[in-house]
Chain A
């Protein structure tokens, strides 16, 4: 005999509230259960559909779109997709990469640096959403570079200093900056 669930069981397994399940039934995303009221029983097919709806929602598909996709799919197909791995989680080092790109000057133009909408923060997007992501910098002495400080002496001249410096050297660098700025300001 196929597995059957009560509304509460289905709610727990699919991790959606009973209220949402009822809303989906009314909205045509889920078929109605075999009986109504407390005796209502739901099948594995309901569970698969709910799991798939959650995945599609995570990809920011509107409910109307989800409904039309589900209506064109066989139960077996829904079951297969619902069991597949969810969309890939965001890479954990992407914030670090992003800052390296900005500070390294590979994407100084804000519109190039910010291809995504700012608010879709914590939901994994499908792969196709990020075609314009700036390329990673080539492998190189990256960890070292984080210690370098760029000091602008003039719009066209920069001094690069690797920190930390000894106190003595630091004083000399400060003098060097002062002298260099004075020199560059001379006509």
Chain B
């Protein structure tokens, strides 16, 4: 029988903690979203979507890129129904609201395509304002129970108007907390992947690297397809822990900690999506033999049904050094931890390579690969992570082509975010249902 709820499994890499030092223990929480069909065979009512397509029309987009971007919008809006809304904004140094937010009726879709066909490529890129104008279209008709998202496509740098990365990511976070999320698509070799990743992460959406122009339509329609397939919005993982225990998410999801409560914002989950969250808990020293614990629970906006029962309690016991040293480790948690540290190191190393700090970039990857090797043992999966890091370390030690840099950065991003190599959501395999 298909499950109606998000299921969560969580476990720690080790069960004992040291009584005389602070200890770090890692927790892997694996979430699986339910099927979009419920048990009696009827389809779950999907939340309406409210989308803005924001397209870069600066000079460099001329020709095939702009043609395919328009095609992506055409294919995407063809999937919407009249309960959904969409808008189209194009920008260069000026902002054009090609089609203001409208219910996605047949007439509206037809009219939008006609107007879109008149768009041609022009000047510089005022990415910031173009994106905000798109968000404004979504915000104007914010759907309380729907998916409100702005999709931003660019092939260039923000070089007009608001250009500061932190400022734009800050606005993305602020809009996310007000209900409007942002996904970003970078095409080719000249966009700023650090900016687009930061905006998508803070904005509660996804980032896609489009290395080949031909993928534009596939990835944009896939992101729209995910919006149409959302089964839970605003999913948050909450960790209650005793005083003195520090909890942080190593996975790239925004989190806050207040007192003994850490809240990790996972954003929307689509049908059968699998998300792994790796947490690091830092325990204070304590009395030998005493038990301590944490409770992990899920919430999903106002929808309590979809997360019912998804609670896990974990316990650890303070033990002597020998027990600690000899205790078994959970290899699945170790693998997830290795993947996440490798992914984070890869993103940092590409950043260092970009600014010409080649030695530091190489040292960063080598030190992480050494650390993983120390606990990998004979595990083939972790050894593969080590080997890949070593290959990448050789590559970042010299100037890299822009596309290779973007590809490596994107590989790190997708892996850390538990998404496929092309950036699409990871779904449960049919045989594991």
- What CA separation (Å) do A15 and B138 show in the bound complex? 32
Instruction: Given A121-B177, A147-B97, A149-B94, verify A99-B139 contact (CB < 8 Å).
Output: yes
Interface stretch among A1-9, A36-44, A60-68, A75-83?
Answer: A60-68
Tell me, yes or no, whether A182 is within 8 Å of chain B by CB.
Answer: no
Q: A23-B313, A92-B144, A149-B94 are in contact. Are A110 and B178 (CB under 8 A)?
A: no
Q: Binary interface profile of B, 30-73, with partner A (CB < 8 Å = 1, else 0)?
A: 00000000000000000000000000000000000000000000
Q: A118-B254, A121-B177 are contacts. A92–B261 as well, Cβ < 8 Å?
A: no
Residues from chain B with a CB closer than 8 A to the CB of A62 are 240, 258-261
Contacts of A152 in B (CB 8 A): 93, 160-161
Cβ-neighbour of A149 out of B96, B264, B313 (below 8 A):
B96
- Would you call A180 an interface residue if the criterion is a C-beta within 8 Å of the partner chain's C-beta atoms? no
Among candidates B97, B176, B263, residue contacting A163 with C-beta atoms closer than 8 Å: B97
The winner among B94, B97, B138, B180 for most chain A CB atoms within 10 A is: B94
Contacts of B313 in A (CB 8 A): 19, 23
Given contacts A17-B308, A110-B166, A119-B263, whether A90 and B256 have CB atoms under 8 Å apart is no
User: B337-373, CB under 8 A of A: which get 1 and which 0?
Assistant: 0000000000000000000000000000000000000
Interface bits B249-271 vs A (CB < 8 Å: 1, else 0): 00000111011110111000000
Q: In whole Å, how far is B236's beta carbon from the nearest beta carbon of chain A?
A: 7
The yes or no answer to A102 lying at the interface (CB within 8 A) is yes
**CB of A123 closer than 8 Å to a CB of B:** yes
- Cβ-defined partner of B256 (8 Å) among A103, A117, A163: A117
Query: Which residues in A have their C-beta under 8 angstroms from that of B95?
Result: 149
Is B261 a contact partner of A63 (Cβ separation < 8 A)? Answer: yes
A34 within 8 A of B: no
Contact present for B174 and A114 (CB under 8 Å) = yes
| Chain A residues positioned under 8 Å from B132 (CB to CB) | 99, 102-103
Q: Please tell me if A168 contacts chain B, counting CB pairs below 8 Å.
A: no
Given contacts A93-B139, A110-B166, A122-B301, contact A99 B175 (CB under 8 A): yes
Q: Nearest chain-B residue to A115 (Cβ)?
A: B174
- Contact between chains at A118 and B177 (CB < 8 Å): yes
User: Once bound together, how far apart are the Cα atoms of A64 and B241, in whole Å?
Assistant: 10
Give B148's nearest chain A residue, CB to CB.
A95
CB distance from A106 to the nearest CB of B (A): 14
Q: Which of A23, A94, A149 contacts B178 (CB under 8 A)?
A: A94
Q: B170 touching A118 by the CB < 8 A rule?
A: yes
- Give the shortest distance, in Å, between B199 (CB) and chain A (any CB): 12
Q: Which residues of A contact B166 (CB under 8 A)?
A: 110
Is B10 engaged at the interface, CB distance under 8 Å to the other chain?
Answer: no
Question: In the bound complex, how far is the Cα of B97 from the Cα of A89, in angstroms?
Answer: 31
Q: How long is the Cα–Cα vector from A64 to B170 in the complex, in angstroms? A: 31
Among A23, A122, A147, contact of B236 (Cβ-Cβ < 8 Å): A122
A123 to B237, CA, bound (A): 12
Q: Mark B157-174, 1 if CB is under 8 A from A, else 0.
A: 000110010110011011
0/1 string, A146-187, CB within 8 A of B gives 1: 110111100000000101000000000000000000000000
B372 to chain A, nearest CB (A): 28
B267 to chain A, nearest CB (A): 8
A120 touching B170, Cβ below 8 Å: no
Query: Which of B136, B161, B174, B313 has the most chain A CB within a 10 Å cutoff?
Result: B174
Q: A19-B313, A96-B136, A96-B139 are in contact. Are A60 and B304 (CB under 8 A)?
A: no
Q: How far is B178's CA from A61's CA once the two chains are assembled, in angstroms?
A: 21
Identity of the chain A residue whose Cβ is nearest the Cβ of B143 in the assembled complex? A92
Nearest 10 interchain pairs by C-beta: A62-B259, A118-B173, A119-B254, A95-B178, A95-B139, A122-B234, A96-B139, A62-B260, A110-B167, A114-B170
Binding site for B on A (CB under 8 A): 15, 17, 19-20, 23, 57, 60-65, 90, 92-96, 98-100, 102-103, 110, 113-114, 116-123, 146-147, 149-152, 161, 163
A-B contact pairs, 10 of them (CB 8 A): A19-B313, A60-B256, A61-B259, A62-B259, A62-B260, A63-B240, A90-B179, A95-B138, A103-B129, A116-B174
Give residues in B with beta carbon < 8 Å to A.
93-97, 129, 132-133, 135-136, 138-140, 142, 144, 160-161, 164, 166-167, 170-171, 173-180, 202, 204, 234, 236, 238, 240, 242-243, 254-256, 258-261, 263-265, 295, 297, 299, 301, 304, 308-309, 311, 313
